Structure formats: C-alpha cells, structure tokens
Structure 1
Amino acid sequence: MDSSEKRKQPPSNGSDGRPVKKSKGGSNGRWQTPHQKAKLEAIKGRSLEVGDMGIWTTCVKGKERQALGEMMDLCEEYGEKLYDIKRQEPAEAQDDEDDDDIESSIKKEIQEMKPASKSKDSVFEPMRMNLDCLLFIRTKPPVDPVALVQQICKDAKEITEKSQRRTRFINRFTPVALTAKATEAGVEEVAKNVLAKHFQLAGEDEQEEVPKGDAYSYAIRPSFRAHNTLKRDDVIKKVASLIAPRHKVNLSSPDKVILIDIYQTFCGMSVVDGDWESLKRYNLHEIYLSALGPDEKKKRENVVQTEESKD
C-alpha cells in the first residue's frame, strides 16, 4: 500500500458521528490528562474475586467515570458518618493545558498516582466492569454494604425542592454481602453463609441469631448480567430450598428481600429489609424524582436531558 494512502485514512467517528479529535486523546472528544488515563486503566485492571463484598452500581451510559466519582464521594461521606472512617485527602487538581512546564507537570502527575496505588488498603475500592453502565465498589469491614446503601437511599428520600440533588449519573444500587462462583455449588455456598444471619436454614436447629418469634416472610429477586449458564427459576428454587419452612414466601410485602446478582462467573447475594420496594429498589435516581414535586421533577428531568444532549 502506498504510504500516502496510509496517511489519508479517515478519522474514526465518535458516537455522535463526528470525528474524534486525536488531540483530545481519542476518548470520544473528552480531554483526559495522563493521570486520568492511568487511574482509569488501574481501575479497569482490578477484577472481582470470590469472597468480595461491595456495591453494584448502575449508571447513565457513557457517564461511568462521572458516576464512579459520585459514588466514591458518597462512600467516603457515609463511611465517615456511619463508621467514623476518615476521608482521604484529595490530590490537588492540575490543569495541564495551563502548565507551561511539561517536566514539572509530569512529576506532579506521578505524585498524584501514588495514592491510587494504595487503593487495595482502602475500605472502598472502585472498579469499572466490562459492561456499559455498570460499576462495582469493593468494601471492607467495618463497612456493611447493605446498611450503607440503605442509609444513602433513606437520606435521599428526604430531599425537598430546595435541597441540592447529590448525584446526576448514578441509578441503582445492589449491595453484596458475599460473592462466590456462579455455579450450583457456588450459589448454595454463598446462600448458606448469607441467609444464616437472617433465617433458620432448612434441616438445622433454630439459630440464636433468629429468635423463635422472628419467622420472617421473604421474596427472592435475582438479577443476571452477562451470564447464561444458570437459569433464573433454578436459582430461585435452590435458594428457597435452603430456608426453613417456617419462613414463608411473600412476593407483595415481604419482611426481607433476598437479592441475588449474577455477573459473568460470579454470584453475589445479600438480604435487605422490606423497605427495598418503598425505596424504589435502591434506585437513587427514582428516589430523587419521587421526592420532588411534579413541576420541579419535570424541570430537573428537562435540565438533565438538555445537558446530556450537549455531551
């Protein structure tokens, strides 16, 4: 092929059909500093592991980076509020375009990357998954992901028309108390561990954690992402079979809701209170909208749509 032809290859287009400017890093026209790129790659490089606990978070498509920032802000705020976990000091912002000293800028970028390398020691560890609109925040003790998510949603429900909405890009939370492999054996393993703290298990003597009077009703709500091996009905039957008969199924107004989230080769599970439904199934966006008056709700929806159309 002629070298002149190689040089005249048409530029690739972004999602809106316009050419992506290479001077902007080829990230759909969005400017990214070297630090942002390195941090993003580090987040992508982390992977879910058996035994993890944390929070699945869905978000607006194409806004994963912004949603991840919002989520980390919430986690740090509520980590301090609920568990007295002190926030990490944020690195000073650096405007590369206004910095004439390239060498100095690079040194600052390297310094800013150092705290990120210690993220595994942090109570909250952000991860971007291989699916659009999906994030995961790995948590460590003393954080209880169920209690954390529930409190965020309860506080959001108290928003008024004069209140400042905390997030723009986060949608639904799914807390995960424990993960295992997405196999029949893995589902049984994680279910026994998670359910034992809330229910008497089938075939076992009554546990101290579940007094005789607490015969909770329950509903099982599974979710599948990028997985086609296990079947929904089989998972529901398996989990239900592990719970003692004195706990009855109640799909309309259960005392407890068993959340099962199967992603690729992992199965996560948690048990949440029956207010899961009244809290819009932990959909933060829906909670905000329902807490506003109809006029303000319509106004804010229009603002968001207008702003997103500009991106």
Structure 2
Amino acid sequence: MDSSEKRKQPPSNGPDGRPVKKSKGGSNGRWQTPHQKAKLEAIKGRSLEVGDMGIWTTCVKGKERQALAEMVDLCEEYGEKLYDIKRQDPAEAKDDEDGGDDIESSIKKEVQDMKPASKSKDLIFEPMRMNLDCLLFIRTKPPIDPVALVQRICKDAKGITEKSQRRTRFINRFTPVTLTAKATEAGVEEVAKSVLAKHFQLAGEDEQIEVPKGDAYSYAIRPSFRAHNTLKRDDVIKKVALLIAPRHKVNLSSPDKVILIDIYQTFCGMSVVDGDWESLKRYNLHEIYLSALGTDEKKKREKITQTEELED
C-alpha cells in the first residue's frame, strides 16, 4: 500500500471552519462504578426547601463528590462528639449476607433507601449536590445547631499543629443556616424576625424586654448572593437592619455578632454567629488550616513559587 494512503485524514471542520476534535470517550478522569453513579444521582435529586436548616459548603471545583464525602464524615464525627448521635453503623452487611451475592439487588435497595419518598425521617445529616459548581449543602435536623457545629469544627482546626491532623482536602468555606425562607422581601423579613429574635431586641418591642444575656450586642450584616439577581444587596441589608432595635449598634470592624445572610436562587437563609467569625477566617476551613500550620506551609508555597519563577 502506498505510504500516502496510510496518512491520517485531516480533521473535519466545524461551522466556523475550525478543526473539530473527536472525543475519545471516557469521563474526564472521573470513572465511576454503577453504585457510585446511582448514589450521586440520588443526591442530586434532593432539593432545598423552605424551613430547612443546615450548612452551605464551598469546595474545590471538580471535587464536589469528594468534598461531600468529607463533609458527611465531619458532621457525623462532630454529631457524635457534641450531641452523642451515634454514627450509622453499616449493619446492612448482614442483610447482604442473607441475600447472597446479588450485588445488583443490593445497589437497587440502597438507591431506593436514598430516595426522598423513602428516606428515614431520622436522617440527621442529609447531603445535597446543588446545580452550581463548588457548592454543596448539608441539611441538618434537631438537635443539631448548624452554627455551633461549624464553630466547633473551625476552632478545632485552628488548633492543629501538624499536617497529618488536617481532616479535609477539598472543603473551603462553611456558612451555617439557622432557617430558610423564600428569597423575596416578605421572605427575608419572615426569616429575619425568627432568627434575630434569639439574639437581639427587635424594633418596636418594649425597651424593658431583655434580650438574651441582657446585652445590647453590636452587629454587622454580611450578605452573600448566588445565582440570584432579584433582591439587591443594599435593600436586604437595610431591611434587616430596620428590624433590629436601636439599642444595638452597627459595628463593621469588630462586632459582637455577625448576621450571615445567604441568598441562593429562590431561597434566603440566615444565621447569627459570634464576632470571632473574622478571626476564624470567615469559617474558611482551608484558610484556617493554612494559618494553623503556619510558617512551614507558607515556606513550602513560597519555595514552589520561587522555583516556578526560576524555571520561567
């Protein structure tokens, strides 16, 4: 055969005249077993609802599945530590033994158990994948307090002394949510009155009514918007501030309390956290770890940067 006949055909061109690369298949390095795919689809099927409480979690892009596993593990560990909630023991193994080696049946059973219609009402930590990159949500139920849970995780992370103590690789920032409502003006007011009343005296209430601990806390309002363009930042801040009695003063530099408002698509979540939110890197677990590991970790990063500059 003539050597010219062995040459590769030139790549076909697209509508714009540029060569079109043929897909080699695969999953971009994210190969999954049928079990993993089924489990992921079940998680994606869950959705946020009005009245939910939980923890927003941002993570490394492309590592949502791993970050979700890390988050569930952390929640279960601290659920046991703080609330004496025993981790779910994988006792389903006994059921598998009774059912023989039918792996397909086992997978179907687990997927069925994870569907919203048949999920256990006693599920304390429920992981959810959102339809935005780098964003996860863990729905929690009483007795879990999302604020207390996140604070404890971050404070413990701040005290680590060795890299081996680092618990996570892909999680970035936490935002606890005490309550959610619809992301409307009425919804913001509704959720604010419920959440703020536990920490502040509300406007219009009798000045003689004591707020928790009898203190006139100073505060700062920190809103965050994701995939939402209806409500405006300044309007939300103003509406929430007007609900708080004048005895509580705004302090943007060192507040006693920080009001976290997280608006995601059609939902508005809110919580009140202590003023150490700033010193705890705004609950950015990754940054807390870097700070706790201190000089050694920073030196390594600087060395890598210097090496790259020399190579350039």
Q: TM-score, normalised by structure 1?
A: 0.81
Q: In the aligned structure 2, how far is the partner of 1:117 from the partner of 1:6?
A: 59
Q: Are the counterparts in 1 of residues 200 and 244 from structure 2 also a CA contact under 8 Å? A: yes
Structure 2, unaligned runs of 5 or more = none
Q: Could you give the per-residue CA deviations for residues 84-110 of structure 1, whole angstroms, max 9, x where no partner exists?
A: 001012479999999x99768867977
Q: In the aligned structure 2, how far is the partner of 1:285 from the partner of 1:239?
A: 30
CA drift of 1:186 comes to 0.3
Q: Are the counterparts in 2 of residues 34 and 109 from structure 1 also a CA contact under 8 Å? A: no
Q: Are the counterparts in 2 of residues 91 and 112 from structure 1 also a CA contact under 8 Å? A: no
Identity %: 93
Q: Which moves more between the two structures, 24-33 or 229-238? A: 24-33
CA drift of 1:58 comes to 0.2
CA RMSD of aligned residues (A): 6.8
Q: In the aligned structure 2, how far is the partner of 1:143 from the partner of 1:275?
A: 21
Q: Which moves more between the two structures, 119-128 or 103-112? A: 103-112
CA drift of 1:118 comes to 2.9
Q: In the aligned structure 2, how far is the partner of 1:115 from the partner of 1:154?
A: 34
- Cα distance change, pair 6–279 in 1 and its aligned pair in 2 (3 A): farther
Q: TM-score, normalised by structure 2?
A: 0.81
- Cα distance change, pair 142–281 in 1 and its aligned pair in 2 (3 A): same
SS in 1 for 2:137: strand
Q: Are the counterparts in 2 of residues 221 and 259 from structure 1 also a CA contact under 8 Å? A: yes
Match of 2:5 in 1: 5
Aligned length: 310
- Cα distance change, pair 30–197 in 1 and its aligned pair in 2 (3 A): same
- Cα distance change, pair 298–120 in 1 and its aligned pair in 2 (3 A): farther
CA drift of 1:129 comes to 0.4
Q: In the aligned structure 1, how far is the partner of 2:29 from the partner of 2:258?
A: 43
SS in 1 for 2:309: helix
Structure label with greater radius of gyration: 2
Q: Are the counterparts in 1 of residues 163 and 293 from structure 2 also a CA contact under 8 Å? A: no
SS in 2 for 1:93: helix
Q: Are the counterparts in 2 of residues 218 and 251 from structure 1 also a CA contact under 8 Å? A: yes
SS in 2 for 1:10: coil
- Cα distance change, pair 219–163 in 1 and its aligned pair in 2 (3 A): same
Q: In the aligned structure 1, how far is the partner of 2:16 from the partner of 2:73?
A: 30
Structure 1, unaligned runs of 5 or more = none
Q: Which moves more between the two structures, 18-27 or 250-259? A: 18-27
Q: Are the counterparts in 2 of residues 15 and 28 from structure 1 also a CA contact under 8 Å? A: no
CA drift of 1:210 comes to 1.2
CA drift of 1:173 comes to 0.2
SS in 1 for 2:176: strand
SS in 2 for 1:116: coil
Q: Which moves more between the two structures, 198-207 or 45-54? A: 198-207
Q: Could you give the per-residue CA deviations for residues 94-141 of structure 1, whole angstroms, max 9, x where no partner exists?
A: 99999x997688679779979995355310000000100000000000
- Cα distance change, pair 32–219 in 1 and its aligned pair in 2 (3 A): same
